[in-house]
Each structure stands twice: as structure tokens, then as C-alpha cells.
Structure 1
Amino acid sequence: MTTMPNSPAIKIDEIASLDLARRVLRIEADAVLALGERLDGQFIAAMQLILTCRGRVVVSGMGKSGHIGNKIAATFASTGTPAFFVHPGEASHGDLGMITHEDVCIVLSNSGESAELVSIMPLIKRRGARLIAMTGNPSSTLARESDVHLDASVAQEACPLNLAPTASTTAVLALGDALAIALLEARGFGSEDFARTHPGGSLGRRLLVHVRDIMHQGDELPTVTADALLPAALLEMTSKGLGMTAVVDAAGQVSGIVTDGDLRRVLARNIDVRTAVVREVMSVNPRCIESSQLAVVAVEQMQQHNINGLLVIDETGKLVGALNMLDLLRAGVV
């Protein structure tokens, strides 16, 4: 037995509590699995309604179903299906004007008899919007009056009293996810599309940031020619702060690169740094990346070849920039 700190001394039966928690999870998992077995042509019909919809998907539900509806609408919106949530109570006080004849409405109710939804259903239909109902009662008013009904019934709630919405809300949430992802696949919605709806997240940065967006260019780009003396390369590396300098020919094509590692090797060979020529110490055929590539590709190349920087070229092979791992870290790509 144990007690919670800073609270009344309530004894917890640890074994019984863990058993109950496991029972809850089993009941909810079984409810979702059973839901999958029941999917039929109505699910496809719901997909077709939404895919041919010229407006948006409007999700509505009361109480716990409303909370689930908010999540379903958000998932739809972020996966290529424009959607928003309307509270049924507010709908009868003006928000019904947000629904047009080009929209598809998804109404959620375990009983299928939520008074707030039943009362606005005829008004939604009168506006010409199509209706999809997700309920736990195929014989309910919402199920009968909708264009498509998705059966989200569960054998029991996970609550020991069989009252609190638990397994039923989990099942509806999973059904909404299944519909959203099936629509995503049908639309050909890809990772770059997903990134455009999540520009502030790490995925958005990884899939939207290109090398050209973060590379050093112009006066920030360290360059020397192959016949320059090594001190000139050292000065260029120091002033530009990238730990390397590109070696280019008269046409701006990349001939090689001089890095901090090359300098260490020069010192190990006892070469006179003051008189050494760049072509004697540079690395030829350096790793390059085109400016049009995603920055995440630059990360992969650096990790694969165990290097800290890349020269950036255009489609003709001309040097246009440079970047290092620190640039990628600052951009939030790594």
C-alpha cells in the first residue's frame, strides 16, 4: 500500500489498481479491433462523400464526443482534408451559418440521440450539406437520417460502472483517424504536403528548408585558386569562419577543398606553410550538393561520409555556396 504526497491519506491497492488499468486498456483495444472487423461499404461511401466535397468537412458533437470531434477535425485539416469543428449548441445560435451546401458534416454521438444534434440535423439537410453520422446505435435518429452511418458501437465501456465514455470515445477517435488516413492515401497526400501544414514543427523544417535557404554565399563564401599560397587559404578560412575554403578555377568550377583536417596533415608532413601552394595540400573531388536539394539531404551526406561541411553547386557544377553542420543545427534541420 502507498499514499499520495500532499494529499489526504488515501490507501491504494497497487495490485488491484494495476489489474483495473490493464482491464481498461484491454477493453479499449478490443473495441478498436472489433470496429475494424465491422468496416464495410459505408466507410467507402463516407470517403466518396468527402472526396467529392467542394466545401469543407464540418465536425460536430456534444460533451466528450465534442472533444473527440475537435481532434478528428484537426487531424483531417492537417492531412489534406479541410475541416473545422462546430459546437452543436452554438450552431443553433448562429454558427449554423458556417455550414454551406457544399460541405459534408460529420456528427458524433454514442447514443445517436443527442438532442442538440438531432435538433439541427434537419436544418443542416435543408442547407444542402451531406451528413455522415458516427454513432454507437445503428437504429438511432442520427443513424437513420444521415446519408452515411458509420457504426462505432462498443460491447462495453471501460468504466467499471459502464457509464463514463471511455471505450466508446476511443473507438470513435480511432474511426476518425482511419477515415482521415484513408483519405490522405486516396488524395496522394505526401510528406511534403504534410510539412506545409506543419511549418512550425521539426518535420516542416526538415521537409521545407532547402540548401539554398541556409548556405553561405556571396562575400560569405570562402574561395581561393589552386595556385594561391597556403597563407591566403588560411586567411580566407579564418575570415569566413567555416573551417574550410573552396578551391575554384577561373570559371568558378570546383577544383578542390582545403579544410582544417588538410591543414593538420600539412603540419604532420613538416611542409613549410609559408611557401606551400594550395594545389599541393587541397583535397580533390570534394563532396558537393546542389543548392536545390533539401537541407536534410545535406545532413544525410555529412553523416554518411563523416564530414562537417559541404560545397554547394548549381546544375552546371559551378560553386554557389557552402554550409556546415552548424548551419543545419541553427536551421533546426538536425
Structure 2
Amino acid sequence: MDFKQIVKDVLLTEANELEKAAQKISFDIEKAIDLIINSKGKLIVSGVGKSGLVGAKIAATLASTGTSSFFLHPTEAMHGDLGMIGKEDIVLGISYSGESEELVQILPHLKRLNIPLIAMAKSENSTLAKYADVFINIAVDKEACPLDTAPTSSTTLTMAMGDALAVCLMKKRDFKKEDFASFHPGGSLGKKLFVKVDDLLRKHDLPVVSRETKLKDAILVMSEGRLGSVIITDKDNKVFALLSDGDLRRALMNDNFSMDCKVEDIATIHPKTLKNKELLASDALQIIENYKIQLLIVTDANDKLVGVLHIHDLIEAGIK
């Protein structure tokens, strides 16, 4: 049995159904977007079985991209959770057949409460579609299942239609990266878009010495600081140089090396610094990688030391 060919056939079948759906988009999708945009309430997604699972994903995508949304199982709605639907809300009902018993049961109650209904189904003649204010067609000609029965192409199209709806709403609302970050503060994407240098900055107990400090004393400070480097400042606390372990190793190769020399004599003068502690941590990581350094010294506008951002701090925070 050629499983590689089977996989290829499934992907091509589903892709073909998506392509056909893209060629027959109706004006109803625009009506759905306008209805949601003009609503003062939430968009509540409901469905059972595979449609319910896809609906839960659609609700999650909407909620994370600027549209207040949650999933409500129709069976739970019939046993008290109908009260979760407010008078300003909209319901997105999903049923490929449009006849799912559990979902159909709540339709008269939605109508009684004057709750607008957007329907995703395969036929405008289905019960779900007839109750709807807006009908979105998710019909497919062929499921990828060899028996043409298990929801495969149809669930893929339903999810894709939900994604398309979410993207349209994002564009309509001019949803930006900063908005996305506010909904994803703990995820890797959110950290890249939300966490700032100041959030990770080491500001206390920094390994700092003056320009006149002897190397042997600076090495002790370096060891205690656990950054592998020592920051050298002048009398005004302005950053003058940086002594790294690399600088120290290179100095050891010099025939005239002395532990009594001034630290500034072997340090890197005017090291790379950052004056904007409000910069995104992900952008700071890019600077660190571009300059092939381990730490980034952060200063104020007058070059006075504010703190240090080490690459390990970025990695531990999930900024990659």
C-alpha cells in the first residue's frame, strides 16, 4: 500500500475543495463581517461533533485576534447555559448538514431572544440556514475519506472559513502586532511582541569598576558578578569600556601582561550599548546576535549605566 500517495491524494482533495470554495465566495461573508463589527456584544460559536471541535478552534482564533468570542455547546445551552448569551451577542452556528439536532433545538430560543444568527452549513435549505440572518456556504463536493463519509474536506473548509472570517475582522479593526501581544503575554509570540528590555534588565549588583582599577581587582569583581565581564565606568558613571573574558584571554597571550595593569588598558573601549530600555527584548536579541556579543549594556541618553541584558536572560524568558 502506497501511503505516501494516499497522503498526497488527501491533501490534494482538500486543497481542491478549498480552491473551489475560494472561487464562489458570496456577499454573505461581508454581511457577516458587518454584523459582527457593529455588534456591542460577543460572538458565540456553537456546534456539536466535529463541527463543535472546529467551532471551538474558530472561537479561540477570534478571541486571540480582537473579536470577543467563546464556544458554547448547544446541549449545555439547553440546560441553563443559554443565559450566557446576552442581548447584544451574536451566535455563529456550525453544522455541515444544518440539521444537527442539538443545535437545531436552540434555534427557536435564539429567535425568541432576538439573537442574530450566522450559519455555516452546506445548504441554504437546511433548518440552520433558514433560521439564520446570514448564511455562509461550506459545502464540498468530495470528502477526502475513501468512503466519502468522514468529515475531512468539509471540516478543513469550515476551519479555513473561520480563519478567513477572523482575518477579515482583524483587517477591518486594523488589528496590530501590539494588539496581538496584549492577548498573548505568556506565549512565545507574545513575548517577542510584548516583553521589553526593561522587563529583563539586570539593574542591581552589577560588576562595575572604575577606569583606574587594577586588573587583579577587576577579575575578582568579574568572578562575583557572574556575567563573564566587567563594566568600566568613568567618574560620572558613564560607560567607558567593557572587559570580557575574551579580552582577558587575549591579554594573557601578551608578553608584557601584568595583573597590576589598569583594567582600561586591556578592555574594549566604547563597547556596544543600548540607550532605549523600552526596546522590545526580541529586537535586543537581534542586536546581540548581529554583534556576536553575550551581553548588551543599557544606558540612559547621557551614557550613564542603567543595567545589563545578558543573552541567558533572553533565553530563559523564552525570547528566541
Taking structure 2 as the reference length, the TM-score comes to 0.93
CA–CA distance in structure 2, aligned partners of residues 21 and 322 of structure 1: 51
**Structure-2 residue corresponding to 1:5:** none
Is contact 1:100-1:128 (8 Å) kept? Answer: no
Report how many aligned residue pairs link the two structures. Answer: 319
**Structure-2 residue corresponding to 1:53:** 39
CA–CA distance in structure 2, aligned partners of residues 315 and 106 of structure 1: 53
User: In structure 2, do the counterparts of structure 1 residues 19 and 294 end up closer, same or farther at CA, with 3 Å as the change threshold?
Assistant: closer
Question: Counterpart of 2:67 in structure 1: which amino acid?
Answer: T
Q: Shift in Å at residue 282 of structure 1?
A: 2.1
Question: Counterpart of 1:134 in structure 2: which amino acid?
Answer: M
**Structure-2 residue corresponding to 1:321:** 307
Is contact 1:313-1:321 (8 Å) kept? Answer: yes
- What percent identity do the matched residue pairs reach? 42
Q: Shift in Å at residue 20 of structure 1?
A: 4.1
Secondary structure, in 3 states, of the residue corresponding to 1:139? Answer: coil
- Map 1:33-182 → 2, pairs under 5 A: 33-182=19-168
Question: Counterpart of 1:279 in structure 2: which amino acid?
Answer: E
Q: Shift in Å at residue 30 of structure 1?
A: 1.1
Q: Shift in Å at residue 19 of structure 1?
A: 4.2
Q: Shift in Å at residue 254 of structure 1?
A: 1.2
User: In structure 2, do the counterparts of structure 1 residues 274 and 19 end up closer, same or farther at CA, with 3 Å as the change threshold?
Assistant: closer
CA–CA distance in structure 2, aligned partners of residues 167 and 242 of structure 1: 55
CA–CA distance in structure 1, aligned partners of residues 264 and 196 of structure 2: 31
CA–CA distance in structure 2, aligned partners of residues 74 and 287 of structure 1: 42
Is 1:250 the counterpart of 2:235? The answer is yes
Question: Counterpart of 1:169 in structure 2: which amino acid?
Answer: T
User: In structure 2, do the counterparts of structure 1 residues 131 and 316 end up closer, same or farther at CA, with 3 Å as the change threshold?
Assistant: farther
Is 1:240 the counterpart of 2:225? The answer is yes
Question: Counterpart of 1:48 in structure 2: which amino acid?
Answer: D
CA–CA distance in structure 2, aligned partners of residues 149 and 122 of structure 1: 17
Question: Counterpart of 2:45 in structure 1: which amino acid?
Answer: V
Q: Which moved more, 1:149-158 or 1:115-124?
A: 115-124
Q: Shift in Å at residue 18 of structure 1?
A: 4.7
CA–CA distance in structure 1, aligned partners of residues 304 and 203 of structure 2: 12
Secondary structure, in 3 states, of the residue corresponding to 1:38? Answer: coil
User: In structure 2, do the counterparts of structure 1 residues 104 and 307 end up closer, same or farther at CA, with 3 Å as the change threshold?
Assistant: same
CA–CA distance in structure 2, aligned partners of residues 158 and 323 of structure 1: 52
Q: Shift in Å at residue 168 of structure 1?
A: 1.3
Give the counterpart of 2:247 among 249, 254, 262.
262
Taking structure 1 as the reference length, the TM-score comes to 0.89
**Structure-1 residue corresponding to 2:17:** 31
Specify every segment of 5 or more residues in structure 1 that has no aligned partner in the other structure, as ranges.
1-13
